[in-house]
Amino acid sequence: MKVSICGCGWLGLPLALSLKTQAIDVWGSKTTLAGVNKLQQQGINGCLLTLPLSDEVNTSIDQFLTTDVLVIAIPPGRKNLNPQAHLNNVMSLSAAAYEAGCQRVIFISTTSVYDSLEGEVLETTLVCPQSSSGKLHHQLEQLLRQQWQHNLTVLRLSGLFGPLRHPVKFLSGRQTLSAGKQPVNLVHLDDCIRVISAIITQKPLMPIMHLAASTHPSREQYYTEMAIKSQLPLPEFNDDNEGVNGKQINAQQTLSALGITMIHDDLLQGTPHLL
């Protein structure tokens, strides 16, 4: 089996390395020659790829896109989010992959498509995007579905954490933070990799899947405890948003379909890896 990962960053690279141990022919894309060389040094077939793709795709990119599974793992960015540009980037990639004969696509989306919904959220819950990111990802999900039909699996990930990445780093020491009573929806990198790998090898019938730990402590409890464990200044929350319950992502259908049990299901266990 050949798997191509567009976006070998914080999520895509460890995914590629994990797939490589499963005797899968793994290809990865980077936007610089230095990045491609690093992939090659780690035993991953590297491809220099910048988006949007031009009408004339070179041999290397065509070889990258002629694959059994294409994983699209390219975040739109937060600081300089340009929704239309990102949409054009992803869809130019999708069109070229379709033309090259790619068999299946896994699109890494986000649970921000649920935005301000409250209560338990299942894979079948109707989305309610309000943020720019939520609206963008929902639009991409729809456009990709039109193109790939049943050959597309959408995986919506909750807030990511893992090695060198944890939201407590950005909330530590801040004051008058809002929504302290609302539940957190987070998922560890290790669990993301296991689920994406299972989607690749098992070809599940579910068109939309999502992922989050089943524990949902309040923002105040969780980030306070993580700050203490990390010996960081404590965040301070105000009492606004009282009466707003927030949402809890329930990923049991996804996990059951893949036969997977979460490794990092208890969010209050463990210490953030910030170094």
Convert the pLDDT of each residue in 62-74 to its tens digit: 999 999 999 999 9
The rounded percent of the chain whose pLDDT value lies above 70 is 97
3-state helix, strand, coil in the chain (%, to 5): 35, 20, 45
In sequence order, what are the beta bridge partners of 48?
Answer: 30
CA distance 183 to 219: 6
Please name each of the domains of the chain with its CATH number: 2-161+186-213+247-258 (3.40.50.720)
CA distance 51 to 67: 18
Report whether pLDDT(243) > 70. no
Q: Which amino acid is at 94?
A: S
pLDDT digits (tens, 9 = 90+) for 104-141: 999 999 999 999 899 999 999 999 999 999 999 999 99
For 201, the token pair is: 């090898």
For 263, the token pair is: 């490794």
Q: Is the dihedral of CA 161, 198, 254, 121 positive or negative?
A: positive
The rounded percent of the chain whose pLDDT value lies above 90 is 89
CA distances from 258 to 17, 103, 143, 194 (A): 21, 20, 25, 10
Contact, 154 vs 206, CB < 8 A? no
Tally of CA atoms within 13 A in the half-sphere of 234 that contains its CB: 9
Rg (CA), the chain: 19
What is the arithmetic mean of pLDDT over 35-54? 95
pLDDT for 245 equals: 83
CA distances from 145 to 105, 108, 231 (A): 10, 13, 45
Other C-beta atoms within 10 Å of 141: how many?
20
Q: pTM of the predicted model, to two decimals?
A: 0.96
Nearest-CA neighbor of 107 among 203, 196, 201, 14?
A: 196
Contact, 199 vs 106, CB < 8 A? yes
